[in-house]
Amino acid sequence: MTELLSNYLGGRWQAGTGAGAGTALLDPVLGTELVRVDATGLDLAAGFDFAREQGGAALRALTYRERAALLSAALKVLQANRDAYYDIATANSGTVKNDSAVDIDGALFTLGSYAKLGDALGDKRFMLDGDMARLGKEPLFQSQHVLTPTRGVALFINAFNFPAWGLWEKAAPALLSGVPVIIKPATATAWLTQRMVKDVVDADIFPPGALSVVCGSSAGLMDQLQPFDVVSFTGSADTAAVIRSHPAVVQRSVRVNIEADSLNSAVLLPGEAADSPAFDLLVKEVAREMTVKSGQKCTAIRRVFVPEALYAAVAQALSARLAKTTVGNPRNDTVRMGALVSRSQLAAVREGLAHLAGQAEVLHDSSQQALVDADPTIACCVGPTLLGTRDARGSDSADRVHDTEVFGPVATLIPYRDTAHALALVRRGQGSLVTSLYGSDAAALAAAALDLADSHGRVHVISPDVAQLQTGHGNVMPQSLHGGPGRAGGGEELGGLRALNFYHRRSAMQASTAVLAHLQTPA
């Protein structure tokens, strides 16, 4: 029988006690069983209490700089085991090396970024929020807002597509804040998350209870949450609704952060020709976003808006680029796109494609192309598909492309009449994580970016002058906000030190100026 991964909870490694020996994790290309996970029988209440009382107290006793040093030490351990993580990603996520790097190296970069940010905060255990404000005519009795770490635990319920980055982009700011974390990775790809936690735990870096992982069913986890705990979820809108309606949130006011569905877009502004640099930048970026991690990114481009006169040219250029994408076994060096993570995801993509095709034409279909070193009856592989809505009138009536996210290598090309029409169509996504704008007119780009800012967590503007510098539509940088309003979940993560706000409690201290002066020095 394959290895049963242990859970780390209550400061010790524990195996699940399920009679069925847990859930099997499979290779999505070969179909072979890799490891098993099981969280049955764990004493969740005791584990959460241990994290709050032992892990939380130990972390809060440290300064930001000391916690940052722990993050740096964890980073060194992870870097030393980087090759093993790539092997796990290939086997369990079916990703080619470049796609694995998006997850693994992105995680390490984010962890290192928060280590640097924390070191700069210095020898403090709280943060000031703004300046003192007079509460009377004389500057003797004043108000000072402060941020102190919440005396609870952070529960992370993560998605299957980023088992490494999804772990550390949440855990780094939480641990830096002084809040212990319990990670529940998505079952399908839990192996990489569990291995990273195991390597850090085995290195004895964080205090006992500061870092825990539960692999398997999430049953009972939300029930353990208390008023000062927080929960961060990445996944479907349906599951997000269940979390929001849970008594821990509704009755105990547990703070919640949600990242859900997102119909992200790319817009080529008017005034560009088919041979312009902005045109080429759009085509290159869309093709990349459709194929990186087989389109399994919450930030991937799903809708592509172009002037009606350029619809045919963009369709042709995109199709030509997508036709060069080889799909199959990521262990073959000629393969550029690997697999979806499971048969259920493959079925969901095919179902979603059929739904969109009811209102859109197929411009490029490589879903039936021959796979490289992979059996199509076993491998969860599907080639990229580009759909289109024919004309601007069709863009208005094709409601499915503005409502349905197909979580795979699928995008829809949508023509528009003018800028106002384009921006109105983008907004039909009802809130997204990111939109990207392409053009060469700086004033027009700035105006469009401001117009779309309220409905997007991030607006990525690409003009020819930053072609070699821009970080990519889908790349989430720790310095910038990750999250989005509306259907994207309404949450916020990262954004530099802004990420720490979620794990701190804001309070107004009203006191004499002499008392408040003591807050200006490290404590």
CA distances from 432 to 297, 386, 418, 486 (A): 13, 20, 21, 7
* Burial annotation 340-374 (CB, 10 A radius, 16+ → b, else e): bbbeebbeebeebbeebeebbeebbbbbebebbeb
Q: How far apart are CA 341 and CA 27, in angstroms?
A: 8
Helix or strand (DSSP H, E) at 146: strand 141-149
Q: How far apart are CA 92 and CA 15, in angstroms?
A: 21
CA distances from 355 to 123, 399, 408 (A): 56, 11, 14
Q: How far apart are CA 253 and CA 266, in angstroms?
A: 37
Q: How far apart are CA 326 and CA 89, in angstroms?
A: 19
Which amino acid type is present at position 288?
Answer: R
3-class SS string, 460-505: EEECHHHCCCCCCCCCCCCCCEEEECHHHCCEEEECHHHHHHHHEE
Q: How far apart are CA 320 and CA 274, in angstroms?
A: 14
Q: What Rg do the C-alpha atoms of the chain give, in angstroms?
A: 24
Q: What are residue 78's phi and psi, to 5 degrees?
A: -65, -40
Residue from 169, 215, 259, 493 carrying the catalytic annotation: 259
Q: What are residue 114's phi and psi, to 5 degrees?
A: -75, -25
Q: Are 352 and 392 in contact (CB under 8 A)?
A: no
Q: How far apart are CA 414 and CA 388, in angstroms?
A: 6
Residue from 215, 298, 380, 381 carrying the catalytic annotation: 298
Joined tokens for residue 75: 């980073």
**Which residues are paired to 258 by β-bridges?**
233
Q: How far apart are CA 367 and CA 157, in angstroms?
A: 31
Q: How far apart are CA 316 and CA 447, in angstroms?
A: 29
The sign of the torsion formed by the CA atoms of 493, 494, 495, 496 equals positive
Joined tokens for residue 69: 């040093």
**Which residues are paired to 248 by β-bridges?**
none
Q: How far apart are CA 393 and CA 397, in angstroms?
A: 7
| Catalytic status, residue 380 | no
143: left (phi over 0), alpha (psi -120 to 50) or beta: beta
Catalytic residue numbers, as ranges: 259, 298
